Amino acid sequence: MKKIIVACGSGVATSTVALQKLKTGLEKRGKLDQVNFSQTSLSELPSLVEGHDLIVTTAQGGTDLGVPVVSGLGLITGIGVDKVIDEVVSILNI
């Protein structure tokens, strides 16, 4: 089981939207059952990232934590949603 942590500035608003779109995209690809999710703020990310396979963030940050990072801005704007989901699937090799 792969673990994704989704982060935004506050850990509430945009990360919730990104998380839902990520789940929807993975479900459409038949891969939702292969992933567990966590949600947090950027400030809490360093203390919570251990054990996760991927960070999806809607803000700048989280790049030096030893875990691959995907920009989730496309999940928020609706532009490039499939590209973001494809990148997640590729990195996680699921």
Catalytic site residues? 8
Give the torsion sign (CA, 21, 48, 71, 2): negative
The tokens describing 15, both together, are 């990360």
Residue 69 CA to residue 74 CA, distance in Å, equals 14
Residue in 88, 18, 82 with CA at minimum distance from that of residue 52: 88
